[in-house]
Amino acid sequence: MTADSGDAPTVLSELREKAGTRLDPVHRDFFEGGADAEIALAENERAFRRLALLPRILRGSGPADTAVTLLGDRAALPVFVSPTAFQRLAHPDGELATARATAAAGTVLITSMASTTAVAEVTAAARAVRADAAVWFQLYLQPSPEVTDALVRRAERAGCGALVVTADSPVFGHRARDDRNGFHDLPAGFAAENMRDLPGAPQGGTLDIAMSPGLSWDDLRRLRAATRLPIVLKGVLHPDDARRAADEGVAALLVSNHGGRQLDAAPATVEALPAVVAAVGDRLPVLLDGGVRSGSDVVIALALGATAVGVGRPVLWGLAAEGEAGVARVLEQLRAEVAHVLTLCGARDSGDLTRDQVVVRGLGVAEC
């Protein structure tokens, strides 16, 4: 039996399958799952498949250059690692393996506030591989400013180059798989290591990560005043919020629906991207994550105006399947695919791509 057309196995899909055989099914559901009916989760991938790339020809573009600059950090590929929680549940080396592989690939790691390894250990592992490795810290603003401040100091001391503030989680999304499995906490022997020794934390234990619907632009402004680190706002979908974020002095935006794990009715991120780019693309870098599974997906997002894109689950698949080597394989595969697709599109780099090169599949008949 052959796979349905469009479903041929890829390096990433094979790592996903291997991860599935290695993971505890409860943890696999936690990593793979989305909110509610998992519509946003499915649509992130499907929306890329509804788009096509119109190649340009005979442009003499030469070999592709996949490198981009992200907030002053050089990335060898326009793909960064999006923050994902609890990586030690995927592999014993957890966040350390991800940090080493990402540093070796020469791209940016966004490490989660909900990591099972302390941020200082994550940055140390990355820097041991590459002295100038870029690690950014993902932050959920906490209702207590003292707690937020302590987390920011921790990220600063660890040498993080930016704070990535996740703003799409005024409450935790409903995850039906986790509810069914009764998965709501880390198992014994694992902890959210960044949450130790914070104001209000129990002696020897960790403070729970709070999500709060009370947070506002005022809280973001307070954060800006409390740090010199650039701030990336994660979870932007509405162009008016993009404009407001730019007005507030945010350094970059990350168009994201949290991998379909928060608002299930949220649009696919690649469908939300063009309006955000139109609103603020000339003022600050616009990043995207959600559903990126191939070099074509990356190039489509770049042609629509993204500076770079993030991958969440693909990194977890590599990690669960093969540890550090698996994460390295995911990033190398995407780098090679991006280079190949750029060349096939007649582009040396993302600056050669134009918006008109992205078309919607299935609408071509009207033009005939």
Q: By CB under 6 A, name the binding residues for ligand 173.
A: 85, 114, 209, 258, 261
Q: Decide if 238 is catalytic.
A: no
Tokens at 210, concatenated:
């709070």
Letters for 43-62 (x = contact with ligand FMN by CB under 6 A, - = none) are -x------------------
For residue 364, the 8-state DSSP code is: G
Binding of ligand FMN by 138 (CB under 6 A): yes
For ligand 173, the closer of residues 102 and 115 by Cβ is 115
Choosing from 258, 303, 328, 329, the residue that interacts with ligand FMN (CB under 6 A) is 258
For ligand 173, the closer of residues 85 and 338 by Cβ is 85
Binding of ligand FMN by 207 (CB under 6 A): no
Q: Point out which residues pair with 232 in neighbouring strands.
A: 164, 252
Please report how many Cα atoms fall inside a 13 Å half-sphere around the Cα of residue 300, on the Cβ side: 25
Nearest residue to ligand FMN, by Cβ distance, number only: 312
Binding of ligand FMN by 175 (CB under 6 A): no
Binding of ligand FMN by 294 (CB under 6 A): no
Among ligand FMN, ligand 173, none, the one that 289 touches (CB under a kind-dependent 5 to 8 A) is ligand FMN
- Spatial distance between the Cα atoms of 204 and 221, rounded to a whole number of angstroms: 32
Q: How many helices (H) and strands (E) does the chain have?
A: 12, 12
CB proximity list for 186: less than 8 A, separation 6 or greater: 86, 89, 116, 192
Binding of ligand FMN by 89 (CB under 6 A): no
Q: HEC string of 134-203?
A: CEEEEECCCCCHHHHHHHHHHHHHCCCCCEEEECCCCCCCCCHHHHHHCCCCCCCCCCCHHHECCCCCCC
Active-site entry in 91, 238, 258, 340? 258
Three-state secondary-structure class, residue 367: helix
**Rounded to the nearest whole angstrom, what is the least distance from the CB of residue 346 to ligand FMN in the complex?**
28
Residues involved in catalysis: 258
List residues near ligand FMN by CB under 6 A.
30-31, 44, 82-85, 112, 114, 138, 166, 234, 256, 258-259, 261, 289-292, 311-313
